Amino acid sequence: MVEFYLAAVSLIFCSGLPALAWGRWAKGGERLSVALLLTGVALGFAASLAGAWQTPSPLLAAAWALPGGSFLVELDALAAIFLLPGLLILGLGSVYGFGYFSQARHGVAAGRLRFFYGLLGAAIVLLPVSRNGLLFLMAWEVMAIASFFLILTEQKEEEARRAAYVYLAVTHTGTLALFAMFILLAGPSGSFAFPQAATLDGATFKAGAIFLLALFGFGLKAGVMPLHIWLPGAHAAAPSHVSALMSGVVIKMGIYGLIRVAGFYTAQPAWWGGSILVLGVVSAIMGVVFALAQHDIKRLLAYHSVENIGIILIGLGCALLGKAFHSPALVVLGLAGALLHVINHGLFKSLLFFGAGAVIQATGSKEIDCYGGLSRLMPRTAFFFLGGAVAICGLPPFNGFVSEWLIYLGLLHSQAESAPFLLSLTVLAAPALAMTGALAGACFVKVFGVTFLGKARRQFSPLPSEAPGSMLLPMAGLFFCCLIIGLAPWLIVPLLQRAVAAWLGRAAASLALSVNQENMLIGSLAPVYGLSLCAFLLLALSLLFFLRQQSSPVSEREKRPATWGCGWQEGTARMQYTAVSFAEMLTGLFRWGLWSNIVGGRAIGFFPAVSSLVAHTPDLILDRLIHPLCRVLSSAAFVTRAFLHQGWIGIYLLYSALTLCLLLLWLSG
């Protein structure tokens, strides 16, 4: 089984080579590249599913020449949770690229993109099965470098270059932390093989240091607030199907690493779970608030990735607190909700990025205020985007509702009888999660309304048209997956149960996990079935009514009475909400954290002149803190250099003598 999986990794790794062909072979090379990648995806998908259901998990160990290294891979259910959506999004993204970034339109850049897309895909599918620190870091580094070149696809754009180099600096900072973490984890034995689950003592100082290094290193990749600084720019600059892969899969590798390392330990202190829970609440709320303030559609979706990473961390924090206080139900509900949200977010966020890419390609702009009325010109894209919007808001009958329901139950379960005070405080995260969902709903009402409804806000030339079939087919596949999980979540419960068991390892016995986890999860999801079914029927009836109205003759529709309103007859583009004006009331409540730059928007006098409102919200950490600090340090460095370097050789000799004297004093002491 593992051998078949490694064959899949090899096919995906080599899939980009035919796309580098040029001239008359370019089109055939592009098709062969997609065929190789899809073959690898299908083989990897089958092997992942089979490996997740085998006991014990399939394992392959081979000698390696590197000191402390071994080629050690294992297919277990926890890895499968991250692999299955990753493989699906990887394959659908390659098909989407036919219409979005084809060789015929972009030439050499398209071939280069497919080459690094294959490298990134291979690293993604190798990373979760790696059971050796050196192998893990090699896959991690390939993933980082491939992502850098994919972000740099539009290298002529200053925005793309800036985002790529910020990403490269941040990801290597995180890699340094992971080097230190794996060195501490190896210890005196020098073995970088991963320990079995729940075999290490979490109550030691060394364990705490490893956890903090993992939280920093993996948190940078995952985009946890305030370590998210690379994420908005990178997602906005990359091609849309690359953004889907990075948001839906790459950042989840940080979550995977954090979950896997936390699972090595038993008897973890409560501050582990408490820290993750607090970071999750901050990421969820501030992520959606910053998303509300954006008017670039891809930056808006990028900040929603920060929000959903926060939701995943809330579930993981519940699981760790449940493990610390020996609450089996809290562990199962929290971790199952977090893992299911890993899958769900990958599906609906990729769907939204695919829809955004179709809109950007049709209009030539990322600015939401440049759109309007696109549902008439792109009805299928609008329909699929609406499905993704409902899912990301956590509403039935789509999949986002199911995972958030489990996390809610986990938070409320912390109020169980005789629960410790610290565990009881976790219920305070439930209102934060509810507020996150409400703000997400407002944000996507803004996005969908301004983009697809109303009237066009500018004259398009040429007129936008529906996306081609190669772009609509991946959107339809993701839409269907979101709907299936929402309507029939019991289909994925066995996989979640096995993943929770793999994470707990030996700790399952100490938790006295005598309850049937599968029955617990199915019982917890019982109310979901009715809610999702009712919502599905309501949406289906609404859609049928809408289609019936649209199919009625134009003459009948024109006879309907117009809206009465003080002589108002017909709206214009200027009368409509813009992205800024729609969200202004909500973002005003969070002005203390946004620090937006607002220009204009005030009417002065009885007969005011024409005015406009322009708002820009820079990232609070990167643009407001790190960049000014770097500029100050750079200026100080130039001043210091000008002071020290006088151009006199005698001064340089004096520096050498003083340095030698200081070294002698230090050694003599």
DSSP string, 27-59: HHHHHHHHHHHHHHHHHHHHHHHHHHTSSSPPE
Could you give the residue ranges of the DSSP H alpha helices within 15-157?
A: 26-52, 77-100, 103-106, 108-126, 133-151
- Picking from 167, 340, 154, the residue whose alpha carbon sits closest to that of residue 237 is 154
Task: Specify the DSSP element, H or E, that contains 63.
Answer: strand 59-63
Is there a contact between 145 and 117 (Cβ–Cβ < 8 Å)?
Answer: no
Give me the residues paired with residue 574 across strands. none
The confidence score (pLDDT) of residue 455 equals: 81
Q: How far apart are CA 292 and CA 368, in angstroms?
A: 12
Q: Rounded CA gap, 518 and 351, in Å?
A: 29
- According to the model, what pLDDT value does residue 563 have? 52
Q: What is the pTM of this model?
A: 0.91
441, two tokens: 């709903």
Beta strand segments in 546-665, E: 597-600, 613-616
Gap between the Cα atoms of 357 and 271, Å rounded: 41
Query: How many CB atoms are located within 10 Å of the residue 555 CB?
Result: 7
pLDDT, residue 509, reads 60
- Exposed e or buried b for every residue in 468-503, given b needs 16+ CB within 10 A? eeebbbbbbbbbebbbebbbebeebbbbbbbbbbbb
Q: Which residues contact residue 458 at a Cβ distance below 8 angstroms, ignoring those fewer than 6 apart?
A: 370, 372, 573
Sign, CA dihedral 200-201-202-205, equals: negative
Instruction: Of 429, 273, 410, give the one whose Cα is nearest residue 330.
Output: 410
Find out whether 491 and 522 touch, Cβ atoms under 8 Å: no
Residue spans per domain, the chain:
267-526, 622-668
Q: What is the pLDDT of residue 514?
A: 47
The token duo for 661 is 């004297």
The fraction of the chain above a pLDDT of 90, given in percent, is 48
Residue 412: predicted pLDDT: 84
What pLDDT is stored for residue 510 in this prediction?
Answer: 60
How many CB atoms are closer than 10 A to CB 10?
15
Q: Which residue, chain included where needed, has tokens 């192998």?
A: 135
Compute mean pLDDT per 10 residues along the chain, 669 residues long, and list them. Answer: 87 90 75 93 92 84 77 90 95 92 84 93 94 92 95 89 93 94 85 87 91 95 92 92 94 95 90 93 94 91 95 93 85 92 95 95 89 89 93 91 90 74 80 92 92 83 87 95 91 90 76 57 76 81 72 52 54 74 83 80 73 78 88 88 77 87 85
Contact 478, 350 (CB under 8 A): yes
At 518 the pLDDT is 55
pLDDT of residue 557: 47
Residue 113: per-residue pLDDT: 92
Number of Cβ within 10 Å of residue 386's Cβ equals 17
